[in-house]
Amino acid sequence: MARTRRGIGLLLVVPLVALVLASCAKSSASTFSGAELHTPYHVPGTRLTDTSGATTSLTSSGKRLTLIFFGYTHCPDECPTTMATLASAVNQLDDADRAAVRVVFVTTDPARDTGPVIRAWLDRFDPQFTGLTGPLPRILKVARQVGVPVEKGNRLPSGGYDMTHGTQVLGMDGKHTVPVVWTLGTTAPEFAHDIHQLLS
């Protein structure tokens, strides 16, 4: 593998940190582990497909808070680590908070990540997690609109390829805006704390 996913993640985190510092900052009075955006992202209602084959969108969540992560099931490190962390965070919530939040995984590799593949992968973390796919150009457009860089990476000796993508988790509120993002390394207790604060 020409570049490890860890190396890719590091390369993405550095410009992401610069972006966060430039466009958002945690107030000194902030109680969040995540970064609060000065200008929240607006999440588009672009039509995507869930793991059952039904047409939906990120804005069809129906929850007061939706945590969104872009990644792919062949990812060897950041993606499974992030989903496991989110699963642990959700398990730490009380019943009321758990009922008000949804975790959504958007594949950046729709050629390999079919609905059944995504569903089987997500079930390893939490069967309640939602998985979305769609044509790659459409996914790339949505990702760009919410500040997540995505591109096809290197071809691997095995004949496959990797995907470079931002590793941030987006927190979408009921108005379909993203006021808070979390960077790689946020812990489950930190997520759980922030989720509770956002829902309070």
What pLDDT shows up at residue 83? 98
C-alpha span between 127 and 90 (Å, rounded)? 12
Q: Tell me the whole-structure pTM to 2 decimals.
A: 0.82
The secondary structure of residue 158, as a DSSP letter, is T
What are the beta bridge partners of residue 24?
37
Q: Higher-confidence residue: 64 or 7?
A: 64
Decide if pLDDT at 49 tops 90. Answer: yes
What pLDDT shows up at residue 30? 57
Decide if pLDDT at 24 tops 80. Answer: no
| Alpha helices (H) in the chain, listed in sequence order | 5-23, 78-91, 95-100, 115-123, 136-145, 188-199
Decide if pLDDT at 113 tops 50. Answer: yes
Query: What percent of the chain has pLDDT above 90?
Result: 70
All domains in the chain, ordered by first residue: 5-22+42-199 (3.40.30.10)
C-alpha span between 129 and 112 (Å, rounded)? 19
Q: Which amino acid is at 28?
A: S
Residue with tokens 């955006």: 37
Quote the crossing angle between the two packed helices 78-91 and 5-23, to the nearest 10°.
Answer: 60
Helices and strands per DSSP (H, E), number in the chain: 6, 10
pLDDT per residue as tens digits for the range 141-189: 999 999 998 876 555 444 455 667 889 999 999 999 999 999 999 999 9
Burial annotation 25-35 (CB, 10 A radius, 16+ → b, else e): eeeeeeebbbb
